[in-house]
Each structure stands twice: as structure tokens, then as C-alpha cells.
């Protein structure tokens, strides 16, 4: 295993260690033990910049399950490195921030375990070359963020938000799994880089469009695109460090990463270009409108994140147009990729800082309600400075970094409306219009975020807490991010050659792209659009009291949250009603359903599938075997006809012992001994439990009841016999027994063939069987403990009642 593998797995390893460290020491905040992990990883990934800048990539292979195409292969290129630096760099600041934000009375061991689990899952997503491993990490992000959102388990809103995020993102994950399976079938490999290399072959496959749809659903749900955005605002119930990490550098960026990574495969499709672009722009517009009417600071930032994600998504869609052109015209649309990558970085800086400041305001005032806030400029001057820098960057105001990427965004939207393909020069005229409108409302909610907290005539003395400036430890992380906002605004060249260009080259058809960002490009259409955005945005802010009422008057039935809740209310009831029709609590009913299904499915399969039964090679039936068969049939008949349970138990054991004798005659004494032991133990247990068995009721003694049992038993037995004869007479492969006999000594170094088969050749089966026994044992132990606890509770209640009397 390479150093890269260790780096990718390091957060997961420490996620298991940190809870034990937390229990062993209580003097030092456990966050100080966690902080070195992302810092070291960030420094490690920085060492790859020279590699990706020179146009090289790194592939480290580790065989895991090669027969299933599941090798833990890691791939580092410009795109993977960009996301790795965001995950670890912002992660370091989040851990530093959480040390001051979270009280030591919280369950910090659990918190940092979940946070490291989340960090490791994200690194696995962006670095995995194997699409199956990528999917496993993809689902691990959903699981870990569920734990983080529900960290405050005593709050119903936290549980609701966690469940919503899990349901939506896991639904998307299942869709992604289907798309990846179809993709591997079309490309003949599970390696992502090989699939990209086989893109032309995949594009000719009949499952190309279907796989694209499934992949897009997976990406859209994770990145909270319209209409799957409903889970993200409710995820705000998580602690603020989680919200800042989730929105700036991790979970929601995973969908953007997937779209960018899959672009070389799907960019040739008109559906890909229009879907990614249209969904992104609709998300930008819809979320920016909703952000302007929010009353909770986190709610404003949540919808602002959705709108910014839509903006980046639309740029990835426009960038895909470059695959349909050559030369300079192609480079015109590659600029959209450049803008998308730059805005990914910019969004991480200003959004991470804004969420941290929201946590600072909440800590210092005791509220996030904008109706109660205002006038905090003189009380919290440092927080105000950070907010005005980062919020203006989000609004796209110079000289901050958000302005540079926003200008590129507008430029790309305007340029693509002149492309002569896929109706982009006709219907595509709407693209820059929607982009400008969405940007206007982005400007509005960004400016209002500043004014509603720090300006105005707010009653500072009426706040739940006495307002004060936060500690330096709580402010240092947003200060670092706000400094980066300024630095990247004035010196974007620090990123262009080292980070942006290698990332763009990873997803672009043509390498050697040059990224250029300037504060003033002249009086271009993009610059004029920016002026229009500022003018209309200011007018809307001044008249917000008039038009925002229209947004707030939106009927709840016209929101996706309403329909999500409706589904959440009705689905469990329908599911419960349907389940209760066949889960009745009676084992006999369950067995009837199982065996009836087996009989019906087998009969239908045999009717539609030609088959033959070859009895030429069947061994001769010896007389003593017939005698044993007669004994088994007789004992079985006696079980059915017996009126005494004790007699039925004895006859059941007779059947088992007779089968053991069969094993002896067939040359399997070890199986016979096992059968004898199992049968003896099970018979003894039956007899011990005999006293506690319920009495037979009239229904069980009725003829119809027994007739159904007989028919199902005969049908199930006949099905098994027929399937056995078909399998015996239609062997398409040589028996694996010959392989076991030939290699039991040289490969497994054993002398007992059965033991070698169970432990070595079929060790995985045995391991899972042992796991099942372990899980069953845990279940039994839990039931016993619960029963003991209930008894203790009942006795305690009786004692209290007697004392009161």
C-alpha cells in the first residue's frame, strides 16, 4: 500500500482511534489531537502541485478484489488534487474553529469521529479511480453527514434534517450505482480513467443515455440541485462547524466533482449540455429568490449555497460545449470550465467564512433570527469586517475574488448564446437572461446579510445574550478565509498555473488552457451586465418591503418541502398497511408465503425455459438405501399424523438420524458425525422447550389447515427434486471437486479436504456465516438485556407504588 493510500485512509483510521483517546483523557480539548490530521494531509497534497502543474498524473494501485473488479486504485490529477486540497485545507480550519465553538460538555469523541469519517469519505470519492470504490465512499458521505446533522439528537429538527438528507442522497446514490454499473458494462472496465479512454465506445452503447440519466440524478441529489435541494436547508440543524464544512468544501461539492469528472464521457450528448446547464440556472434563480425571504441566518446561507452550486453547475454544462468545437472557438467555451473551477475555490473561501461568522453571531447574541439582530457594527467590529469582505465577494463586488469568477460566469453565459449548435443561438438566448436575474438576487441577499446583522437600529440590549466580540480562537479561521478572499482577488495568478489550469485540463478536451482573470476587461457585455446587476440590485434592496411579501405569500402547497412531508406522512402508513398483510407474526404463514413463492416461480421458469432431465449417469439405488428412504417417509408421515407434540419431536429426530446414516453410506463420515451432534442437540432443546410451547388450537387441527401444509410440502419437495435432477443432468462446467482434490495439499497445505474447503477455498462464505451467528448472538443478548431492564423497571415501579401507598 502506497503513501497515497495511507493518506486517503488516515482520517478513517483516526476516526476509530479518536473516541478511545477522548475517553482516556479529559484535560485537553480533543480537537487539538484531531487538528494535525487534516493539516498534515493538506501539506502532503501540496507536494503534488509540481506534478500536476507539469501535466503529469499519479496512479497508485492496490489489489483488493480483482475478480470483482474492485481494486482500491487512487488517481491524482489536477481535478482530484483541487478537491483534496479543499477537503483538507478547509477541514483544518473547521477543526480549529470547532475547538472554540463546541463546549467540552458535548460528546466530542463522537463528533470528531463522525467528522473524520466524513473527511475520509470525501477523499475517497475524489481520489478513487475504481467506480465501485467511488460509490462505496459516495454512500459513506451520506451516512457520515447523517450522523453529523443528527449530532444534537435531543432536537427533533436535527433528526428530521438528518433523515431528509439520508433519504434524498441515498436515493440519488442508488441511481448513481445503476448508472455506474451500466457505464462499466458499456466500457468493459471499472476504472474511471479507462472508461474516459473508452469514451467513444461507450457513446455508441445502447445504454449510454440511460447511464447518463442515472449518473446525473446521483450528482444532482448530492449537490442539492433543483428539485432535490430540499434536504440542504434542513441540514442547517447540524452544529455550525459541520454546516460550514458541508457547504464550503465537501458534501455538496461531490456532485459537482462527479459532473466534472464524467464530462469527457457525456459531453458529446446534447442532453448532457442542456440538462446540466438548465438545471444549474434554474437552481441559481430559484434558490436566490428563496434566500431573500429567509429569516434565519443559516437559512439565508443555505439557499445561497444552493444558488452558488447551481451557478457552478451551469458553467460545467457550458464548458461541455467546447467538446463540439476545435481551436480558438473551443477555448471560448473552455473558459466556462475555468470559471467553474475558480468559483469552486472562491465559494469555499467566502462561504466557509460566512458560516463561521453566523456561528460567531449565534454564540455572541444567542439568536440567528434577522428580526432580532441589527446594530452590531460597534459591538462586533472584527466580525463585521470579515462579513463585509466575504459577503461582497459572494455578491460579486470588486476587488474580491468572487467578482473575478462571476465576471467569467457572465461572459460564458453570453458567449454560449451565440453557439450555432443544439438551438443555443435561439432558445439559448434565455441562458444569459436567467443568469443575470439570478445574479441580481444573489447581490440582494448578500448585501442584506450584512445590513440585517450589523447595520440598522437593532436593540442590542434585547438580545437573548449580551452581545460581544468572539474570542480570537473562534475568529482565526474566518479571518484566514477572508484574507484568502482578498489575496485571490488581487493575485489570482497564484492559483491559475498551480491549481486552476491543471484542474481544467483534467476535464477539458484540449490541454494547455490558459486562465486569465482581470478586474477590468473593458466595457464588455459581461461588465455592462454587472453594472445592470448592481443598479437593479440596489433598487430591489431599497424597495424590498414591497416585493418580498409576494415571495413570502407563496402557498406552502407550491413548495417541494410540502410534498416531501406529504410523502413522508403517507408512505409509512401505506408501507405499514401493506407489510401487515403478510407479516402476521405467525411463522407458519411466513413459511407458506416463502415456499409458495418458490413453487410458483420455479414452475413459471420451467414452463418458459426449455430443460431436460438426463438419468443415464444416475447411480444405482441399493436395497439398504431404499430401506432408509422408507424409514424417512414413514417418520415424516408420522409427524404429520401425530396428535402429540412429543411424538412429533421424536419422529423429527428419527428423520435426522436417518439422513445421517445416508451420509455414512455416501462416504461422508464427518458430515454424519456433524448431523448426529446437531440432531441430538436440537432434539434436546426441543424437549427442554416442550413445556413452553402453546397448545394446539382448533384451527391447527382442521383438515384444511393440514391439507394446505401437505400440498405446499409436496410441492416444495417436488421442486427441489426437479431442480436437482436438472442441475445433475445439465452440467455446463466441470465439477470444482476435481480442483479441490488436486490442490488441497499444495495450495492450502491441509490434509482434511472439508476443513480446507471451508476455511481456505470458501473462507469468505465461512466468515459471513460466522458473522451471521455473531449478529444473532448480539440480538439474543440485546433481547435478554432489554427483558432484564424491563423487569427491573417494573419492579422499581411496583416498589414506588407500594411506598406511596
Spell out the SS3 assignment of 490-518: HCCHHHHHHHHHHHHHHHCCCCCCCCCCC
Query: Across residues 474-488, what is the average pLDDT?
Result: 96
| CA–CA distance, 397 with 49 (Å, rounded to integer) | 30
Q: Assess whether the previous peptide bond of 227 is cis (omega < 30° from 0).
A: yes
User: Do 349 and 458 share a domain, yes or no?
Assistant: yes
User: Do 405 and 472 share a domain, yes or no?
Assistant: yes
246 within some domain: no
- Cα end-to-end span (Å), the chain: 70
Global confidence as pTM = 0.81
Query: Across residues 716-723, what is the average pLDDT?
Result: 90
What is the chain's alpha carbon radius of gyration, rounded to the nearest angstrom?
A: 33
Identify the pLDDT of residue 320.
Answer: 94
Query: Across residues 660-684, what is the average pLDDT?
Result: 86
Residue 505 domain boundaries: 267-539
User: Do 428 and 332 share a domain, yes or no?
Assistant: yes
User: Do 455 and 471 share a domain, yes or no?
Assistant: yes
Mean of the per-residue pLDDT values of the chain: 88
Q: What's the longest Cα–Cα distance across the chain?
A: 104
Residues 6+ apart with CB under 8 A from 259: 216, 219, 223, 276, 313, 316
Q: CB–CB of 425/514 below 8 Å?
A: no
How many domains would you assign to the chain? 4
User: Do 291 and 423 share a domain, yes or no?
Assistant: yes
| Listed range (69-73, 113-117, 320-324, 755-759) with the worst mean pLDDT | 755-759
805 within some domain: yes
Taking only the tens place, the pLDDT of each residue in 238-292 is 999 999 999 888 888 999 999 999 999 999 999 999 999 999 999 999 999 999 9
Hey, what's the cell of 500?
A: 486552476
242 within some domain: no
Hey, what's the cell of 556?
A: 406552502
71 within some domain: no
User: Do 573 and 451 share a domain, yes or no?
Assistant: no
User: Do 570 and 493 share a domain, yes or no?
Assistant: no
Residue with cell string 449565534: 362
Please, is 780 exposed, middle or buried when counting C-beta atoms within 10 Å of its C-beta (0-12, 13-18, 19+)?
Answer: exposed
Query: Across residues 56-73, what is the average pLDDT?
Result: 87
User: Do 507 and 639 share a domain, yes or no?
Assistant: no
DSSP 548-576: HHHHHT--GGGSHHHHHHHHHHHHHHHHH
235 within some domain: no
**pLDDT confidence bin for 700, thresholds 50/70/90:** low
Identify the pLDDT of residue 696.
Answer: 59
400 within some domain: yes
Query: Across residues 72-89, what is the average pLDDT?
Result: 96
Taking alpha carbons only, the member of 586, 583, 599, 587 closest to residue 713 is: 599
Question: What's the gap between Cα 482 and its chain centre?
Answer: 30
Angle at CA 128, nearest 5°, toward 311 and 184?
A: 90
User: Do 452 and 500 share a domain, yes or no?
Assistant: yes
Amino acid at each position: 500500500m502506497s503513501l497515497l493510500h495511507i493518506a486517503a485512509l488516515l482520517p478513517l483510521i483516526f476516526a476509530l482511534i479518536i473516541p478511545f483517546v477522548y475517553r482516556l483523557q479529559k484535560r485537553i480539548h480533543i480537537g487539538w489531537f484531531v487538528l494535525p490530521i487534516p493539516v498534515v494531509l493538506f501539506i502532503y497534497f501540496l507536494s503534488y502541485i509540481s506534478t500536476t502543474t507539469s501535466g503529469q498524473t499519479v496512479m497508485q494501485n492496490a489489489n483488493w478484489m480483482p475478480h470483482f473488479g474492485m481494486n482500491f486504485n487512487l488517481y491524482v490529477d489536477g481535478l482530484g488534487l483541487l478537491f483534496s486540497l479543499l477537503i483538507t485545507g478547509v477541514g483544518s480550519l473547521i477543526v480549529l474553529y470547532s475547538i472554540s465553538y463546541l463546549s467540552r460538555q458535548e460528546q466530542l469523541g463522537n463528533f470528531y469521529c463522525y467528522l473524520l469519517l466524513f473527511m475520509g469519505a470525501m477523499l475517497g470519492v475524489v481520489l478513487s479511480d475504481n467506480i465501485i470504490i467511488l460509490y462505496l465512499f459516495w454512500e459513506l458521505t451520506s451516512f457520515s453527514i447523517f450522523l453529523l446533522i443528527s449530532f444534537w439528537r435531543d432536537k427533533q429538527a436535527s433528526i428530521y434534517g438528518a433523515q431528509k438528507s439520508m433519504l434524498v442522497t441515498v436515493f440519488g446514490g442508488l441511481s448513481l450505482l445503476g448508472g455506474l454499473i451500466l457505464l462499466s458494462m458499456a466500457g468493459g472496465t471499472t476504472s474511471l480513467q479507462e472508461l474516459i479512454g473508452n469514451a467513444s465506445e461507450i457513446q455508441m452503447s445502447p445504454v449510454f443515455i440511460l447511464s447518463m440519466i442515472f449518473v446525473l440524478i446521483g450528482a444532482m441529489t448530492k449537490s442539492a440541485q433543483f428539485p432535490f435541494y430540499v434536504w440542504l436547508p434542513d441540514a442547517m440543524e447540524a452544529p455550525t462547524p459541520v454546516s460550514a464544512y458541508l457547504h464550503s468544501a465537501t458534501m455538496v461539492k461531490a456532485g459537482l466533482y462527479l459532473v466534472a469528472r464524467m464530462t469527457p464521457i457525456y459531453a458529446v450528448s446534447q442532453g448532457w449540455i442542456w440538462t446540466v446547464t438548465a438545471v444549474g440556472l434554474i437552481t441559481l434563480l430559484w434558490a436566490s429568490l428563496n434566500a431573500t425571504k429567509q429569516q434565519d441566518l443559516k437559512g439565508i446561507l443555505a439557499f445561497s449555497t444552493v444558488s452558488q452550486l447551481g451557478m457552478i453547475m451551469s458553467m460545467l454544462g457550458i464548458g461541455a460545449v467546447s467538446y463540439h468545437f476545435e481551436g480558438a472557438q473551443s477555448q471560448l467555451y473552455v473558459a466556462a470550465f475555468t470559471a467553474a473551477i475558480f468559483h469552486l475555490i472562491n465559494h469555499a473561501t467566502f462561504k466557509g467564512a460566512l458560516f463561521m461568522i453566523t456561528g460567531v453571531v449565534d454564540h455572541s447574541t444567542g439568536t440567528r433570527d434577522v428580526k432580532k439582530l441589527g446594530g452590531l457594527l460597534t459591538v462586533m467590529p472584527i466580525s463585521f469586517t470579515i462579513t463585509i469582505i466575504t459577503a461582497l465577494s459572494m455578491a460579486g463586488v470588486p476587488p474580491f475574488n468572487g467578482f473575478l469568477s462571476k465576471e467569467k460566469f457572465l461572459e460564458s453565459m453570453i458567449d454560449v448564446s451565440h453557439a450555432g449548435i443544439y438551438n443555443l443561438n435561439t432558445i439559448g438566448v434565455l441562458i444569459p437572461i436567467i443568469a443575470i436575474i439570478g445574479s441580481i438576487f444573489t447581490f440582494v441577499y448578500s448585501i442584506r446579510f450584512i445590513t440585517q446583522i450589523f447595520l440598522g437600529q437593532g436593540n442590542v440590549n434585547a438580545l437573548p445574550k449580551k452581545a460581544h466580540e468572539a474570542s480570537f480562537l473562534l475568529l482565526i479561521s474566518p479571518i484566514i478565509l477572508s484574507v484568502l478572499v482578498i489575496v485571490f482577488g488581487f493575485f489570482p495568478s497564484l492559483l491559475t498555473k498551480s491549481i486552476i489550469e491543471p484542474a481544467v485540463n483534467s476535464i477539458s478536451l484540449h490541454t494547455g488552457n490558459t486562465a486569465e482573470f482581470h478586474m477590468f476587461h473593458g466595457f464588455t457585455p459581461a461588465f455592462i451586465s454587472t453594472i445592470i446587476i448592481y443598479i437593479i440590485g440596489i433598487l430591489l434592496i431599497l424597495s424590498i418591503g414591497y416585493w418580498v411579501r409576494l415571495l413570502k405569500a407563496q402557498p406552502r402547497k407550491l413548495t417541494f418541502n410540502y410534498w416531501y412531508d406529504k410523502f413522508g406522512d403517507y408512505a409509512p402508513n401505506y408501507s405499514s398497511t401493506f407489510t401487515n398483510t403478510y407479516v402476521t407474526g405467525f411463522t407458519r404463514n411466513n413459511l407458506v408465503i416463502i415456499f409458495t413463492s418458490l413453487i410458483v416461480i420455479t414452475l413459471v421458469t420451467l414452463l418458459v425455459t426449455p430443460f431436460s432431465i438426463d438419468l443415464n449417469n444416475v447411480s444405482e439405488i441399493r436395497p439398504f438405501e431404499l430401506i432408509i428412504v422408507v424409514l424417512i417417509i414413514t417418520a415424516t408421515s408420522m409427524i404429520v399424523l401425530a396428535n402429540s407434540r412429543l411424538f412429533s419431536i421424536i419422529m423429527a429426530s428419527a428423520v435426522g438420524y436417518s439422513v445421517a446414516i445416508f451420509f455414512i453410506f455416501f462416504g461422508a463420515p464427518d458430515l454424519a458425525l456433524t448431523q448426529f451432534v446437531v440432531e441430538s442437540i436440537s432434539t434436546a432443546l426441543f424437549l427442554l422447550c416442550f413445556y413452553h410451547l402453546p397448545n394446539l388450537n382448533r384451527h391447527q387441527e382442521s383438515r384444511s389447515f393440514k391439507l394446505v401444509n401437505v400440498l405446499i410440502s409436496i410441492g416444495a419437495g417436488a421442486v427441489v427434486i426437479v431442480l436437482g435432477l436438472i442441475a445433475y443432468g445439465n452440467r455446463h462446467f466441470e465439477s470444482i471437486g476435481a480442483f479441490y482434490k488436486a490442490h488441497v495439499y499444495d495450495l492450502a497445505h491441509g490434509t482434511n479436504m472439508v476443513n480446507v474447503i471451508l476455511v481456505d477455498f470458501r473462507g469468505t462464505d465461512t466468515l459471513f456465516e460466522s458473522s451471521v451467528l455473531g449478529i444473532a448472538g448480539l440480538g439474543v443478548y440485546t433481547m435478554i438485556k432489554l427483558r432484564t431492564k424491563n423487569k427491573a423497571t417494573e419492579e422499581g415501579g411496583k416498589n414506588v407504588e407500594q411506598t406511596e401507598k
